[in-house]
Structure 1
Amino acid sequence: MKLALVAPPWNSLYRPSIQIATLAALEGTGDGDPITPVYAYLDWFEYAVDALECDPAEFVTVYDTIGEELYGLGVGDWIFGGVLDAHGPGEEADVRDRYAAFLTEHGVAEELVGRVLALRAVAPGFAAGLAGRLVATGAECFGFTTSFSQLMPALAVARAVKDQAPERLVLLGGANCDRPMGQAVMRAYPFVDAVVQGEGEAAVAAVRAARGAGDLAAAPGLVLRHEGGLRVSLPTVQPAESAPVPRYAEYFERLRALPHRELIAPHVALPFQMSRGCWWGEKLQCTFCGENGSGMVYRSKPGEQLTKTLRRLTEEHGVFDTYAVDTILARNDNGLAELAAAEVDITTFFEVKANLGPREVGEMRAAGVTMVQPGIESLSSGALKLLRKGATAFHNLRFLVLCQELGIDAQWNLLSAMPDETAEMLQEQLRLIPFITHLAPPSTVSKVRVDRYSPYFEKPEEFGIALDGPEPKYRFVHAGRTAAERAELAYSFDHVELAGRDDSAMAAEMLALRRRLGARVGLWKKLHDQSRFSFRFGPNMTVLHDGRPHVGTGRHVLRGGDDQLFRCLVHGGRLHQAVGQVAAMTGRPEDEVHARVREWARRGWVHLEGRRGLVLAVRDGMRDELGRAAELREAAAESERAAAESGMAGAGSGRVGAGR
């Protein structure tokens, strides 16, 4: 069957859809009919600019805001929901008024609310026009990828396709169709012929080889209509190596024909994938994370494939910015060392675990990793334990120090309001923040959300919570559905705590502390650009410059034992080793050296956690970031060699490596 793969709004304008591009690349393998990728989100950008007669540069911002920042309010989905609801004029006016009030209540600016309403008004015309063009391709089956805010846009266009060509097949896949959610889509929207659960390669291969719908009965991962019900074929877990390099030619072809492409083209980054699943989640899934759904099993391509993949993509498209869609960076054979040795000017992004040490972070920067999303989530070790992050505040702070030192943009989020959170967990972060304004602040501060497939969702009673129905946005997104149907379609849910917060005074205290935390992070963001806390090593001395607003103490020169003590705690060190070394070198009593460490902790020069200490200042070695990255890698390697030779692995440097 001839297949068209459609990427609906609100995929990022700056990234070709890796979902449809990976599946389109299967056309070069095996037998079967051709695959046509359709970048409908670029079509939507062009259509909306013309329909609204708005400034294209302004609409780029509107599009990005809806696709990223307003996902939690269901905006992108609601805009296309009107195609499916088919309200009369009076009822539609009421729907618009109620949703506008909902957005306003959640702080959305009046001008942006107006844009949202205007986009809903023109969405039916876009869906009908796109459906006509899809049908004209001659494809016999139309597959829509859906994640985040793409479900209702996909359904809107699929409905329009079926209206124009009822004999053609429409199927949906992606995160919004995983496991029970996909079956719920089929029950709620009867024009959908099939959904793909899990990874799509096997299902697409089956569609290409099929002569008709009857040949799809045994296709892996497909849910089909059968005798008034649904027939479910279990998905297969694909080896990572089976996924081909994405085929992005059609994205760039469409981009070249796009009016106002100059607003998008300079910012394009090429997505790639080296692994699927999550090795940490296999071991101990984070309590709030439902990201991998049925695909938690971790599989990774050989590290040597990283350089080959990025070389091929950049050579084909002349784009040097790349973006890994992996849930987590591989622990061992991740290919970064080979990429660093390749000496190509590629920049890239990875999601990483935050317990990486100096060698690993140095290797990332040497390989061209200029942006990361570390799973920091909190700066309280107690809260991190509740979240099952497998890291502590020490690890998170060390990672932020290293990123600041190496010029890596760390994009992270701060979570609060998790079950069993205590006032002390919030207070320790409030005390810490004034001392770390020179480090990258979190992008957002938000309450923990209960997502489908997360431990919070699967076993809420273990965490002392009860689910309290889907989040309010689903009342608007799936307005024509029953409460039971919305619960099956929803991904995010409200919850209540069963015990421990009954006391109104305690609840009020926690709410006040969370608001203070949000306000303090807001101040952190304002102060960050002017905050400086750095040091430089000299001959037998360390010069410290403390220019942190409100807490900075100016310039300090450390000599002798203080110089040695400071050096022992740079990038983290064992306190007993550092103190013992300084006491032996200077003849000072260990109690006196410990007192010095405690004094530095009060000043916010070092962070203490159990038996470890970490200098919070950033080294200003007057070298570029790549020079510092190379130095960190070489120093760590030399330390490891020395430790191995002495039979005392890890003891020589006094530093804590990744994963310890």
Structure 2
Amino acid sequence: MLSMPSHTPSPQGDSRQTPVLLISMPFGLLDYPSLALGLLQGSLQPLQIPTSTLYFTFKFAEMVGSIFYQQIAKGRPMIQDFIGEWIFSAALFAENSETEAYIRNVVYGDMECHNTIYKTGKGITEDFIQDILAARAKTELFLSECVEEILQHNPAIVGFTSVFQQHVASLALAKRIKARSPETCIMMGGANCEGIMGVELIKQFSFVDVVVSGEGDQIFPDLVKRILAGQSISHLQGVYTRRNVQLLTAGKSIMNTPSIRNLDALPFPLFDDFFEQLSRTSIRQTITPGITFETSRGCWWGEKHHCTFCGLNGSTMTYRSKTAQRAMEELLYLTNSYPDCAISVVDNILDMKYFKDFIPSLAALPGNLRLYYEVKANLRKEQVKSLREAGILMIQPGIESLSNHVLDLMRKGVKGLQNIQLLKWCKEYEVDVTWNLLCGFPGEDPAEYRHMGEILPLLTHLRPPSGIAPIRLDRFSPNYDEAKEHGFYNVRAYPSYQYIYPFSPEIINNLAYFFIYDYADERDVASYTLPIAQFMVMWHQQHRKSQLFFLDYQEYLMIWDLRPVATEALVILTGLQRSLYIFCDTIRNHHHLQQFVTEHATPEEEGKPFEEFLEPLIQKGLMLQDGHSYLSLAVQRRRESERLTQPAVKQLQA
């Protein structure tokens, strides 16, 4: 049982009391409040339990500089280096003598797994190294100031959210709070505390009283009431204490908290503390704040087919979404409460039912919303148009390959041609796309990458991927859970963890989320993907001046080709060839095309196979054929809204 803390005045003599403090530590993002903490704070409001959220992210960014801070917070140069965690490790554990080894092996990337797959280096400068070391030297002062501020509130409960690189800083502060105020209940939750990671956390760090594994929304109010009343909490599902964690038997599944089923029952998140503290920070002019917005949880595709590389925990995969009315009410609340802020939707995937209600409602709103959503790549053209009209101007559609074979290994449920089709339609409707290529799946055929290398030069008019990278093994992914079956062996935590935690490999493996591996077939992924990586560099350079679009004048169609691979700058199509090209703006198969020819051919064109019309366009790189499927590559433009980039205009004039 956890006892109720005595609420004596703090050492500073301040009589204020905030029973519950919620903490966001470095390296949480500076420009967005924590949605998790905003929801938890909102859940206590009906209970009239005074609660505050402290964003110590701002304090540390002031100390180390906001530019450097944001680099680390956004996982640069590589998230698996855990630079933010290492910066605080000496404040949690005794200073070790491996600083030079960490900098050399991990940050510079002398260890192969901490470098790029092509060993091109990470662009690390000596100034960046000095910034890391300077930040590490400031952690003690920072943590001391945080402790003093917390003790002024005389809290009964201090709760930490821990995602990405917030873990070690949170533990270092928790350790100091417990030393100064032993009766304060230290609670931790978040992605870093899920499953075995949370269980190992409470085993190794005696100053942590409670770990919540899974969604905290339903259980948090009851948990707080019980702790404040001095009641037992060890029987609560998904809540781990030193008492009940000893009862877990080897091989027994670790239960998460019950997931909330009705998302409409969630409170509106409270972000007032974030904006109030932002207004007082000396670095506020360097921060453009946004707000996070949630309309669903889980993944409707992953429920049926868990993508092999996806690290979403299966116990929270069940898809749930808010009703359109509730989603709109919350959006209006957020935009009215926190005006002029960019809105980032944190859903794993867009609810397709929203195309019937929520998205049309967004389109009807006055003003210019700029929303970001994750979607599945099998959208129809009218749906992309609807996204644009609704102000959803950036999407992440999970385009991880253009190879059908590799996509099947991922269990993505789409074809490469569908991914290209979506890129084309997004270009037409000016919806920005974030995507990347993943490689290194056991069983993938290197010939697929040679074929991809033939296709990519035809796509330089479309948004390029951010890069190409080998898959990482994330905890909870099928690749991790069934590593041997998927062709991985010798799975172990990234080496960076050993420079952070002075524990045995077994304990580190339990605390880790990111893992490295060897291939059962000893494949050399870099050797067959290097040409793709090299072409991507050129793609980024060529993209702004590369254009492929068509204008339709009813009787004839003009295709302007300003790509580096163009064989003709202007191609004019008439008759059935024109009609077929427009028809193939959407992927069409043999049956569709033959039927179209039968219905639309003139007497002079009757009897001719559709291949006779399309093959010349394929040879010119204006269309793609994948088996029995065909897709036009030129982006449709309307004459009245025609816009070209300046480099493209110069090419036309030339």
- What interval of TM-score do these two structures reach, taking the shorter chain for normalisation? 0.7 to 0.9
Counterpart residue number, 1:237: 259
Counterpart residue number, 1:163: 179
Counterpart residue number, 1:566: 581
More displaced stretch, 577-586 vs 512-521? 577-586
2:462 equivalent to 1:439: yes
2:424 equivalent to 1:401: yes
Letter of the 2:164 counterpart? F
CA-to-partner distance for each residue in 1:252-289, whole Å, 9 max, x for gaps?
1011111131211xx32210111111111100000010
Counterpart residue number, 1:632: none
CA-to-partner distance for each residue in 1:8-62, whole Å, 9 max, x for gaps?
1222211111110111111233x2522211112122212323xxxxxx5x43654
Q: Quick one: structure 1 residues 97 and 121, their matched pair in 2 at CA, closer, same or farther if it must change by over 3 Å?
A: farther
Q: Is the 8 A contact 1:34 1:208 kept in 2?
A: no
Mapped to 2, the partners of 1:70 and 1:578 lie a distance apart of 47
Mapped to 2, the partners of 1:309 and 1:112 lie a distance apart of 41
2:154 equivalent to 1:138: yes
Counterpart residue number, 1:82: 90
- Size of the alignment, in residue pairs? 603
Counterpart residue number, 1:655: none
2:140 equivalent to 1:124: yes
Counterpart residue number, 1:492: 514
CA-to-partner distance for each residue in 1:534-587, whole Å, 9 max, x for gaps?
111113221111001133520112111221111111133334333443365134
2:59 equivalent to 1:43: yes
Instruction: Choose the corresponding residue for 2:81, options 55, 73, 78.
Output: 73
Counterpart residue number, 1:22: 39
Q: Percent sequence identity over matched residues? A: 28
Q: Quick one: structure 1 residues 301 and 608, their matched pair in 2 at CA, closer, same or farther if it must change by over 3 Å?
A: same
Letter of the 1:537 counterpart? D
Q: Quick one: structure 1 residues 558 and 113, their matched pair in 2 at CA, closer, same or farther if it must change by over 3 Å?
A: same
Counterpart residue number, 2:323: 302
Counterpart residue number, 1:634: none
Q: Is the 8 A contact 1:188 1:481 kept in 2?
A: no
Counterpart residue number, 2:99: 95
2:403 equivalent to 1:373: no
Instruction: Choose the corresponding residue for 1:386, options 397, 409, 412.
Output: 409
For 1:246-285, list aligned pairs within 5 A.
246-264=269-287, 267-285=288-306
Q: Is the 8 A contact 2:377 2:419 kept in 1?
A: yes
Instruction: Choose the corresponding residue for 1:59, options 62, 68, 80.
Output: 68
Mapped to 2, the partners of 1:588 and 1:624 lie a distance apart of 33
2:614 equivalent to 1:614: no
Any stretches of 5+ residues in structure 1 without a counterpart?
50-55, 502-506, 626-660
Mapped to 1, the partners of 2:245 and 2:398 lie a distance apart of 45
Mapped to 1, the partners of 2:493 and 2:345 lie a distance apart of 31
Structure in which a larger fraction of residues adopt helix? 1
Mapped to 1, the partners of 2:204 and 2:620 lie a distance apart of 60
Q: Is the 8 A contact 2:234 2:243 kept in 1?
A: no
Counterpart residue number, 1:323: 344
Counterpart residue number, 2:534: 519
Counterpart residue number, 1:633: none
Mapped to 2, the partners of 1:208 and 1:555 lie a distance apart of 69
Instruction: Choose the corresponding residue for 2:312, options 283, 291, 296.
Output: 291
Letter of the 2:392 counterpart? V
| 1:212 Cα offset (Å) | 4.7
Q: Is the 8 A contact 2:73 2:84 kept in 1?
A: no
| 1:206 Cα offset (Å) | 2.0
Mapped to 1, the partners of 2:422 and 2:567 lie a distance apart of 22
CA-to-partner distance for each residue in 1:505-556, whole Å, 9 max, x for gaps?
xx45x53221111111121111111111111111322111100113352011
Mapped to 2, the partners of 1:623 and 1:173 lie a distance apart of 54
Letter of the 2:561 counterpart? D
CA-to-partner distance for each residue in 1:338-394, whole Å, 9 max, x for gaps?
211234421100011111111211111111001111111001111000000010111
Letter of the 1:427 counterpart? R
CA-to-partner distance for each residue in 1:479-520, whole Å, 9 max, x for gaps?
x11111001011111222223x4xxxxx45x53221111111
2:444 equivalent to 1:421: yes
| 1:306 Cα offset (Å) | 2.5
Q: Is the 8 A contact 1:370 1:407 kept in 2?
A: yes
CA-to-partner distance for each residue in 1:400-446, whole Å, 9 max, x for gaps?
11111111110112100011111121112111110001111111211
SS in 1 for 2:292: strand
SS in 2 for 1:323: strand
Mapped to 1, the partners of 2:332 and 2:567 lie a distance apart of 46
SS in 1 for 2:317: coil
Counterpart residue number, 1:629: none
More displaced stretch, 407-416 vs 234-243? 234-243
Mapped to 2, the partners of 1:234 and 1:72 lie a distance apart of 25
Mapped to 2, the partners of 1:174 and 1:68 lie a distance apart of 21
Q: Is the 8 A contact 1:274 1:324 kept in 2?
A: yes
Letter of the 1:532 counterpart? Q
CA-to-partner distance for each residue in 1:611-632, whole Å, 9 max, x for gaps?
321111111214669xxxxxxx
Q: Is the 8 A contact 2:22 2:158 kept in 1?
A: yes
Any stretches of 5+ residues in structure 2 without a counterpart?
5-18, 110-114, 116-121, 249-253, 643-654
Counterpart residue number, 1:594: 611
CA-to-partner distance for each residue in 1:578-607, whole Å, 9 max, x for gaps?
344336513436655303323322322112
| 1:214 Cα offset (Å) | 3.6
Q: Is the 8 A contact 2:194 2:256 kept in 1?
A: no
Counterpart residue number, 2:239: 222
Counterpart residue number, 1:364: 387
Q: Is the 8 A contact 1:286 1:455 kept in 2?
A: yes
| 1:175 Cα offset (Å) | 0.7
Q: Is the 8 A contact 1:62 1:112 kept in 2?
A: no
TM-score normalised according to structure 1 size: 0.87
Q: Is the 8 A contact 1:223 1:233 kept in 2?
A: no
Letter of the 1:332 counterpart? K
Counterpart residue number, 1:651: none
| 1:230 Cα offset (Å) | 5.8
Q: Is the 8 A contact 1:3 1:207 kept in 2?
A: no
SS in 1 for 2:476: coil
SS in 1 for 2:541: helix
Q: Quick one: structure 1 residues 69 and 315, their matched pair in 2 at CA, closer, same or farther if it must change by over 3 Å?
A: farther
| 1:333 Cα offset (Å) | 3.5
Mapped to 2, the partners of 1:61 and 1:130 lie a distance apart of 20
Instruction: Choose the corresponding residue for 1:339, options 356, 362, 365.
Output: 362
Letter of the 1:565 counterpart? L
Mapped to 2, the partners of 1:396 and 1:552 lie a distance apart of 25
CA-to-partner distance for each residue in 1:154-194, whole Å, 9 max, x for gaps?
11111121122122111110111111110011112221111
Counterpart residue number, 1:635: none
Mapped to 1, the partners of 2:76 and 2:400 lie a distance apart of 19
SS in 2 for 1:332: helix
Q: Quick one: structure 1 residues 76 and 98, their matched pair in 2 at CA, closer, same or farther if it must change by over 3 Å?
A: closer
Counterpart residue number, 2:206: 190
Instruction: Choose the corresponding residue for 2:108, options 104, 107, 130.
Output: 104
Q: Is the 8 A contact 2:159 2:187 kept in 1?
A: yes
| 1:128 Cα offset (Å) | 2.2
